[in-house]
């Protein structure tokens, strides 16, 4: 009996570690901008951009709803990918709904003019309510339990291939460069998130020439499981040499009804060998029904829409599940 009581007493001293949780990613509908909420297994959060201002704080309210669904009370890191209205414009309204601990950016705005000045002033006001972290390619955003590696920022790219990458890219042959992009799009912060064997790529609005520099003549990124389609699915981005080289299993497009979702990009994605599914935040009115993803893979079919999100849950073995909030339908993708 004494041995039993001693064993029970010793067990009481062992800490009760919480069960491991999935990595969760919410692709919030901000109607052609970006607001991607990432919640780590440790419960830390990273919000990538904050959508548009205005519309009665529509985007801030939608982000707050996703955060509440995820069970978080604040944003630990808000990654502001670049200074455009559909990405940074919603930051000040958001702070009225969800506090932010740390703002992550690439430095000061590289654009000039009245609209750029107003965006910069708005962002500086937001910065007074948290701390600031400015990143460059090769830096990591310090989230526990996952690795978030910056691969592009302020027009610079990682100088060498990531571990396991670096193979010559045959898809570069015959792909021409376009005119250099002088805007903040080409200065976007892009990152690769790794959780065990799971890999997710978000390059924000990075444009054609910078995409080519990342994967030509060698693919510095390697392959990924999930690709957030660049620039809302616009044909200013999504160079075939990039999209074919990273070989995503699933592509998710944060387009609006009339923004992004270019027919050329939709056709490219759906023709990719190895792509199991394309999911979209909106039915693209820029393309035919046949060029869009199937309706059960689209979160919002109508205009005006209800603001449904797409949710992804990933496990460290590389498996993941994607759910359409509108229908409640889920699909699980086993490890590759």
- Position 234 scores a pLDDT of 98
- Give this prediction's pTM: 0.93
Q: How do residues 40-66 score in pLDDT, each as one tens digit?
A: 999 999 999 999 999 999 999 999 999
Domain count, the chain: 1
Q: What is the CATH number of the domain that holds 129?
A: 3.60.15.10
Q: Which residues contact 112 (CB under 8 A, 6 or more apart)?
A: none
Q: What is the spatial distance between Cα 281 and Cα 299, in angstroms, rounded to a whole number?
A: 5
Q: Which domain holds residue 191?
A: 18-333
For the ranges 19-23, 45-49, 119-123, 179-183, the lowest mean pLDDT is seen at: 19-23
Q: Is residue 163 part of a domain?
A: yes
Q: Give the pLDDT mean for 202-222.
A: 98
pLDDT tens per residue across span 83-112: 999 999 999 999 999 999 999 999 999 999
Cα separation, 220 vs 32, whole angstroms = 28
pLDDT given at position 336:
86
Residue 252, domain member (yes or no): yes
Report H helices in 176-316. Answer: 208-215, 240-246, 263-270
In a domain, 82, yes or no: yes
Domain assignment present for 143: yes
Average pLDDT for 192-213: 98
CA distances in angstroms from 121 to 33, 92, 117, 208, 314, listed in the order given: 20, 11, 6, 29, 37
Query: Which two structure tokens, joined as six digits, stand for 295?
Result: 């309706």
230-287 pLDDT tens trace? 999 999 999 999 999 999 999 999 999 999 999 999 999 999 999 999 999 999 999 9
- Please give the pLDDT value at position 72: 96
Distance between CA atoms of residues 317 and 296, nearest Å: 26
């Amino acid at each position: 009996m004494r041995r039993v009581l001693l064993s029970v007493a010793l067990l009481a001293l062992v800490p009760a570690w919480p069960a491991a949780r999935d990595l969760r990613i919410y692709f919030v509908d901000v109607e052609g901008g970006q607001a991607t909420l990432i919640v780590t297994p440790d419960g830390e959060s990273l919000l990538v951009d904050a959508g548009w201002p205005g519309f009665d704080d529509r985007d801030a309210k939608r982000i707050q709803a996703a955060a509440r669904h995820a069970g978080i009370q604040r944003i630990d890191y808000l990654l502001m990918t670049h200074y455009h209205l559909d990405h940074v414009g919603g930051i000040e309204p958001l702070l009225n709904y969800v506090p932010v601990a740390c703002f992550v950016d690439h430095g000061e705005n590289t654009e000039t003019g009245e609209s750029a000045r107003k965006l910069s002033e708005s962002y500086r006001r937001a910065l007074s309510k948290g701390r600031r972290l400015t990143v460059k390619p090769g830096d990591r955003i310090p989230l526990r339990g996952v690795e978030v590696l910056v691969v592009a920022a302020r027009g610079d790219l990682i100088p060498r291939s990531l571990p396991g990458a670096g193979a010559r890219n045959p898809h570069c042959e015959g792909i021409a460069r376009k005119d250099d992009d002088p805007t903040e799009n080409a200065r976007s912060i892009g990152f690769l998130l790794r959780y065990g064997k799971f890999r997710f790529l978000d390059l924000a609005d990075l444009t054609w020439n910078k995409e080519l520099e990342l994967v030509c003549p060698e693919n510095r990124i390697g392959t990924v499981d999930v690709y957030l389609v660049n620039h809302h699915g616009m044909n200013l981005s999504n160079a075939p040499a990039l999209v074919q080289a990273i070989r995503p299993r699933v592509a998710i497009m944060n387009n609006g009804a009339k923004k992004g979702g270019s027919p050329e990009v939709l056709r490219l994605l759906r023709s990719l060998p190895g792509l199991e599914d394309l999911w979209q935040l909106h039915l693209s009115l820029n393309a035919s029904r046949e060029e869009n993803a199937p309706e059960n893979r689209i979160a919002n079919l109508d205009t005006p829409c209800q603001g449904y999100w797409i949710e992804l849950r990933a496990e460290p073995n590389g498996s993941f599940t994607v759910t359409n909030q509108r229908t409640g339908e889920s699909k699980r993708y086993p490890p590759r």
